[in-house]
Each structure stands twice: as C-alpha cells, then as structure tokens.
Amino acid sequence: MRKIPRGVFVEKIAGVVVMADTAKKLGDSTLDGLDQPNRQTKLRVRRGSRMVVLFADVVGSTRLYETLGDKRAREIVRGVLWLVMHEVQKQSGVVIKEVGDETMAAFTDPEMAVVAASEMQAILDAQDPQADMNIKMQLRIGLHMGPVIADRNDLFGDAVNIAARIAGKAKPSQIITSAETVGALPELCRRNTRFYGTTTLRGKSEPIDLHEVLWEVGGTTTQLVRSPTATAIQKPVPIHLTLRYGDDGFNFLFRPGKPRTITIGRSESNDMVIRHQSVSRHHGEITCRGGRWLVYTDRSINGTYVRVGTLPCMKVCQDEHILDCEGNLFLGGSPRQDDPDRDATRVYWKSIPIPPEQDREL
C-alpha cells in the first residue's frame, strides 16, 4: 500500500471525509479502499465502444504552489487527486491517467460517472478551508460520452478531446457535460441536469450543447437536485421576464418558436439603458434557449457580476449564465455593500415559466 501523506483526504467514514492522521486512529482498515488506482487495470474496450470520459481539474493549484511552496502544495493537491481516484473506483470507473493536477477517468455507465462527479464536488464542498491560506479546494469537471480507442491502457479519440474541452468550460465546483451524455442517462437522473448553453469547442466546426449537472449535499450523501426552474420547464413554454433598474420596471414575454433578444447597455438603442461609465455601450443581452431557459450573455470588457439569493457572486465576462428564478446583475460594477455605485449598475431579474392554462389567458 502506498504511503498516504499526512493531511490528505482518505476515506468517508459515516459520511464525513477524514484526514490521514484521524484515519490512523480509527485503524488501517479505513484505508483499504485506496490501495492502487484502477489505471493499472488493463482496459478492455471493443472497437467502436462508447464510454463516458471524465476530466477533473484541481482549481487554483498554481496559487497554492506560489503561496505554500512545492511540498505543502503537492500534499494538498495530492489529497484532492486521491479523492477523485477513490470516487471513480467506487462507481466502477477506471482512472486512466493523471496529467499534472488533472485526472482522466472512464466509465461504461453514464449514471455512475455523474454520481462519481457529484460525490467529488459534494465532499470537497463540505471541507473547511485550508488553514494555510483560508481557501477551499475545488474541482472543474467535464464529461462526454462517445466512441473511444484503447491503446496501452490509455484512451484516444474524439470523445476524449471533447471531454477535455468541456472540462475547460466548467467553473470551479461545477460539472458540465454534453447532450450525448445526458441523452444516455436514466430519466430520473436526466431531470437533474439543465441546459447550460451552446458553444463551439476548439478544433470542432459544429457547435455543441452543454448541460450542467445539479448537485447538492443532503444528509450524509450526495443528492442530485432540480432547481425550481428546471422542475417547472419540462417542455417549451412561454417565460415571463421582469427586469428592474432603480425605479424603472420592464416586463418581457418569451414565446417558444419566436426568437427574441433583450439588450442592456449604455447606448440609447438598448431595450434597457443604464447610463454609467462602467457599463459598456452594448453590455449584455438576454435570450431564450429551446423555450426552456433564459440566458444572459455578457458582451462587455468589464464583465457582469451575477448574484442569486445568498450565494457568492459569480463574474461573467464574455461568457453566459442561465437566469434561474430571480437575482441581481451588477453590470461592470462591484457588488460590494460598501460600494457607493453598487445600485447604479444593479439590475434585478425574475423569470417565471407560464403554464399552458395561464398562457391562454394572456
């Protein structure tokens, strides 16, 4: 058995990840599940076989090495990689290889791949910040299902390249996958994903639809959950959007099959005009995707901060964000409470799907 560095993630005991020193007190039996990674197992892949390829990338490792030094940073990163390996093995997956701070794994069952990815995120999310620098470790995870070629215990092919590119699109603590993967999931599991956006991946001429896996910790296990919007919108329906800026309110209706774009910016040609120096002339726009999701696309230089409820703000710059339920957009400005210009760039949104019986009354 490998020597496991002190202070790394080892095993879940009663639903809690314990550190190596704690595990030793409980007995060596707790370490049995982390003997050797499955990447040593010979891959048996038939020609044209379809597998789910997973890439999990440790976030912020460069900063760790710069701040803590090579030895301590490597211990922390290694702990996260052990966690990834363990969750892959637990769901009958195979660790193919580790490249730097990124792990590549493969699964024959897409549901097991999604569960493994969700467990990784949930366990890391439950950890206290690293005392060395008061930061929580996070992962970006990407998944894609497609035909692969096995050669010398490695996998090759278009599916591998797409999975790697998708992982690069994920934000910290996020799981992004493809429509191909979602289509292969059981119905119950499929409902716990949501359309995330359409993008063009490097090296691909055709755009690809991306989906986000929704995960949340409940009790001692990981549960995939549906957001309120995801639950309500199973088929294309009209979506009512309310935007409020200062004392001004705006109402818009998006109907299936009738493309519409709501623009926001400093220019008078926008649907919502915000006259502030930090706001670009054409700062952002809101569209409806597939009659199911409202998507905000930032077109600015300064970016947009998105806040939903009490969750931390997320900065979106030249990127997209799904507008679930309600929240606030801070266009080019700071969301900090002590910023005097905070409300000068804040736009409140609320999106409501319209049931068919109510739509007939509109």
Residue 73 vs residues 69, 101, 137, 318: alpha-carbon distances, Å: 6, 11, 11, 31
Query: Are 54 and 111 in the same domain?
Result: yes
Last residue of a domain, one of 177, 203, 226: 226
Query: Are 222 and 243 in the same domain?
Result: no
Query: Are 202 and 267 in the same domain?
Result: no
Domain coverage including residue 192: 9-226
Query: Are 38 and 120 in the same domain?
Result: yes
With a threshold of 0.85, does the pTM exceed it?
Answer: no
Please give the chain's pLDDT, 362 residues, in tens. 233 333 333 333 223 333 333 333 323 333 333 334 444 455 566 666 789 999 999 988 888 888 888 888 888 888 889 999 999 988 889 899 988 889 999 999 999 999 999 989 888 887 766 555 566 788 999 999 999 888 877 888 889 999 999 999 888 889 999 999 998 988 778 878 888 878 878 877 788 888 989 876 443 333 443 333 333 344 678 899 999 999 899 999 998 888 899 999 999 999 999 999 889 999 999 998 766 678 899 999 889 998 887 666 788 888 888 887 889 999 987 777 676 767 889 999 999 888 765 655 44
Asked, for residue 318, whether it belongs to a domain, the answer is yes
Query: Are 104 and 142 in the same domain?
Result: yes
**Tally of domains in the chain:** 2
Query: Are 275 and 335 in the same domain?
Result: yes
Query: Are 269 and 336 in the same domain?
Result: yes
**Which tokens belong to 216?**
């949340």
CATH number of the domain encompassing residue 252? 2.60.200.20
Beta bridge partners of 298: 284
Cβ–Cβ < 8 Å for 273, 267: yes
Neighbours of 152 (CB within 10 A): 6
Query: Are 321 and 208 in the same domain?
Result: no
Neighbours of 94 (CB within 10 A): 22
* Environment class of 50 (CB within 10 Å of its CB; exposed 0-12, middle 13-18, buried 19+): middle
Query: Are 193 and 314 in the same domain?
Result: no
Which residues 6+ apart lie within 8 Å of 32 measured at CB? none
